[in-house]
A and B are shown apart, each in its own frame.
Chain A
Amino acid sequence: MVGNVSVLLLGMALAVVVRRSNYSIPGAVSDVFMMGRYHQLAGVLASICAFSLVNIWGYEPCPT
């Protein structure tokens, strides 16, 4: 129950961040090929940098 609610809240936070910043990971990848739309790429690099903090604690490969 606590896990479900925490993931629900996390999903809500994710939606707010994406809506307010116009940032989209899949959109950024396609924007690479469109002239003058490289802004999204900065967001992807920031995401990768933020998530790579996981390496400090040790990353386990995707379980699936």
Chain B
Amino acid sequence: MDDVRSTKLLVSSPWFKLILGGLGVGLLGLLFYFISPFWSSTGKPEVISVGGFLANTIAWGEKVILRDNYLLSGIPPILRYLILGIVLGSFIDSVLSRKLTWKRFNEQKIMKDDLPYDIGGGILIGFGVLLANGCVIKHLLAGVPGLDIASFVVVAGIIMGMWLGLKIVGG
């Protein structure tokens, strides 16, 4: 009886859910790494990266306008399918769990208070992704466990940036 109660306590704890989520994301990242040689043009494994999609879009624009990739090259186009899958998966899951609703946002608050931060933060993220060759997901999920020194530097920079951001805008 005590065993059942302690199991229920464990399952309902926020730690348990997050550890399971963390393990799931890590293992899916690992799966991405192992299936990537099948579609990679170089035949080498790629690591999961969400920011790479944005960089890929910029690379595409660069090729259309400038006829070549001067800044970016070698970013796998398949990442766009990953983003599409994330959007589609979220939609299907919210429909299945009956949580899909239209939400009205506070327009005045968004336009007056949030918009400058949204635009400023978005520009900084885009700049950071290009500068660091990847987003927090790529560096924290793949770079750090792979003992990539550059990723340790990037993660340290991200932590410092977040600390600085919280000091400036408050948290």
Contacts and interface: CB of A to CB of B under 8 A. Distances in A.
Given A7-B32, A25-B140, A46-B19, A16 B89 contact: yes
Interface stretch (B4-12, B60-68, B131-139): B131-139
Interface residues of B, number: 69
B147 interface: yes
Contact of A26 (B92, B137, B150): B137
Main secondary structure of the interface of A (DSSP, over half): helix
Interface residues on A, range: 35 or more
A58 to B, nearest CB: 10
Contacts, number: 211
A33 B19 CA distance: 19
B146 A61 contact: yes
Nearest to B148: A61
A22 B14 CA distance: 9
Interface of A: 2-23, 25-26, 29-30, 32-34, 39-40, 42-55, 59-64
